[in-house]
Amino acid sequence: MRAFTLVPALALLLMLPAAGCRTNEATGRSQLIVLSAEDEIRLGEEAMPELVKEYGGEVSDSVLREYVRDIGMNLKQYTEAKNPELPWQFTLLDSDVINAFALPGGKVFMSRGLMTRMTNEAQLAGVLGHEIGHVTAQHVNERISQAITLQVGVGALAVGTRKSENSMARYVPVIVGATGQGFLLKFGRDQESEADHLGMRYMARSGYHPRAQMQVMQILNEAMEEAGGARGPEFLSTHPYPETRIARIRENLRTIYTNADSNPSLSYHEERFQRIARPRLDAIEAEKRRAMGGENREEALLAALLAQPQTWCALCREAQQ
Ligand SMILES: [Zn+2]
């Protein structure tokens, strides 16, 4: 597998006309940012096909695909500044792995394996909102900045002022990883909580009860407990349990969404999810079960899980470095 190395870091340094400290309009936080908005969009668009392929393509059921897309497109309208104008795309991947992630510039992905564990639309909005939060908070851009400054020092950033005409394609492996290692898609603990925070904001603005973000954490916890040590010690050492995220979500509910329970405009939309999504998700599961030959399904699912890339944005708890 290709890891993040000094060579792409230095190459990237040469194309940093946008490098500088900016106050992000979604978070209000000052960040060191190295890629321009155009670079982010280009990077996301060039990395997207590789990611979709790695996860087995899109779900074939067009109603499911459009259901996810419509919820995402509604949520993104409530993002800050010029973010609603990004070329957003919301992709439902035909993978049993439980995962969700986002690329810069508005490309959001969720696996069918995660969606099938949901019971209401607000949970779906919670996952998409969290990923939208990674985009609007420019976490990949920030992570690239961190990686570069870690390796070459902050002072060297001032040197990079030449705009490269080259495609962003050569940086795709850095972002995605040849085997889905996804160094830059593994966010730190604070970035994960920030994405939760923004996700809850977009949920509430779209009419979803932000408590569903807590339900998403319960879904992820249950999935991890079921998997046990199946992902191996490496996974367990780099992905500890999400106490920090849960604590901060609980704090948000207590301090920001105090009256959410009595607010009639906030809903979980359980009926809509059960009517539109559930039968279709069950039909796909049943079809896969038939194709796998029934009793070997558990083993086949485990094999599929182990064979899949582990970017695990949604489960990522701690900084990886
Ligand atoms: Zn995340």
How confident is the model at residue 214, as a pLDDT?
96
Centre of ligand 1 from the C-alpha of residue 202, in Å: 15
Alpha carbon of 280 to ligand 1 centroid (Å) = 26
CA–centroid distance, residue 295 to ligand 1 (Å)? 34
- Best-predicted range by mean pLDDT among 131-135, 285-289, 304-308? 131-135
Q: Which long-range contacts (CB under 8 A, 24 or more apart) does 23-28 make?
A: 24/136, 24/137, 24/138, 25/80, 25/81, 25/83, 26/79, 26/80, 26/81, 26/83, 26/133, 26/136, 26/137, 26/198, 27/136, 27/137, 27/194, 27/198
Taking the centre of ligand 1 as the mean of its atom positions, its distance from the CA of residue 315, in whole angstroms, is: 7
Alpha helices (H) along 77-120: 112-115
* CA–centroid distance, residue 293 to ligand 1 (Å): 35
How close is the Cα of 188 to the center of ligand 1, in Å?
9
| Nearest-angstrom CA–CA distance, 67 and 85 | 20
- Residues of the chain with pLDDT > 70: what percent? 70
pLDDT in tens, 221-254: 888 788 775 553 333 333 445 778 899 999 999 9
190 CA to centre of ligand 1 in angstroms: 10
The average pLDDT across 9-18 equals 55
The pLDDT value recorded for residue 110 is: 93
Does 6 score more than 80 pLDDT?
no
- Rounded CA-CA distance 279/304 in Å is 23
More confident call, 227 vs 121: 121
Predicted confidence (pLDDT) per residue in 18-63, tens digit: 678 899 999 999 998 888 999 999 999 999 998 899 889 999 999 9
